[in-house]
Copies of this chain bind each other. A is one copy, B any other.
Amino acid sequence: MAEHQVFTIASIPADGVGQEVVAAGRTVLDALAEQSKGAFSFEWTEFPWGSAYYAEHGVLMPADGLETLKPFDAIYFGAVGWENVPDHVSLWELRLNITQNFDQWANIRPVRFLPGVVSPLRTAEDTELDWVVVRENSEGEYAGLGGRNLSGRGPGNEVAVQSSLFTEKGCERIIRFAFDLARTRTVRKVSSVTKSNAQQYGMVLWDEVFARVAEDYPDVATESVLVDAMSAKFVLRPEDLSVVVASNLNADILSDLGSALAGSLGLAASANLNAERRFPSMFEPVHGSAPDIAGQGIANPIGAIASAALMLDHFGLHAEARRLEAAIEATTAAGHLTRDIGGTADTAEITQAVVEALAA
């Protein structure tokens, strides 16, 4: 008799619509567990961290927050950011605090075109589009290095330096990750993105590592594309893409562009992986806390639900991950759409539709 598997999940809905979409994802995952007839279940622990916590305690999460999270199998995150906390504070003290300290160096952001969702891109109509952005998540342009200085120059003459840090090891692990991922896909191709013609240090190191690692994967096609040209390629030749690997900022831009082309940032899923599994990985929708619609029950939960599918993959529940993705497709194909993608359905209706599609 197969053993019953229990996966422990720390959920951190945090701010705004983060609350609503994490609840939606949880409902869907629990429905899946229910259907597994005892094969697996999820043990949820919810943490009330975020900007409301900050209002009370002056911090986004308690000092021992990371220690508390460490034993969990995964973290399921909503969104952080609210008017009572400066953006960079809420980000660095909560979300980036977790990704950095748990060395979640691989950020996976699939770009999925869903049936029934009208893409702003004309070609999406008759072309199968499906690619994934692999984002370096630990260094690069987000290294936080730099400073500002005014001394000796007088008013109006302030100077600021912002430095990116690229390590050979950091480049290598994310590039290898991208190649390994490409091997699991129908189209075995990795597109590497830099701006090495204008940025001659970090980006050139990246290019060199990419060329070297590529030699270990002769079965995978490769290309090196400049970030400006790649943003054009997302629009003009998206059918050429399979795995796109890029530094922290370049991938941030490209993944948002990809989600927009697929119809809405509300659809976009992401996984922040510590691939070595020394620390828990974190799964979260790409969108933010969306103060303008928060609390109204109308947020698009698909980004969060699709992130839950990535979490299933991380648990080794691949068949269930595929089933969940199919249920999402069935939902949008049947015309259940939130406002951001031209529909009228609310969060609960979409969640319900996904649960029903899973049961069908």
Contact = CB atoms under 8 A, between A and B. Distances in A.
A147 interface: yes
B165 A161 contact: yes
Q: Interface range on chain A: under 10, 10 to 19, 20 to 34, or 35 or more? A: 35 or more
B166 A162 contact: yes
Contacts of A252: 195, 198, 227-228
A181 interface: no
Interface string A194-207: 01111111111100
B164 A158 contact: no
B148 A159 contact: no
Contacts of A166: 159-162
A163 B160 contact: no
Contacts of A148: 201, 204-205
A202 B161 contact: yes
Nearest to A123: B120
Contact of A120 (B88, B157, B167, B236): B236
Contacts of A163: 146, 161-164
A58 interface: no
A199 B232 contact: no
Given A256-B231, A257-B235, A87 B120 contact: no
A67 B200 CA distance: 27
Interface in A123-143: 123, 141-142
A59 interface: no
Nearest to A161: B163
A264 B257 CA distance: 17
A187 interface: no
A141 B249 CA distance: 12
A229 interface: yes
A259 interface: yes
A218 interface: no
A62 interface: no
B257 A232 contact: yes
A211 interface: no
Nearest to A262: B235
A168 interface: yes
Interface in A165-219: 165-169, 172, 195-205
A260 interface: yes
B167 A203 contact: no
A245 B142 CA distance: 22
Given A159-B165, A168-B156, A231-B257, A147 B236 contact: no
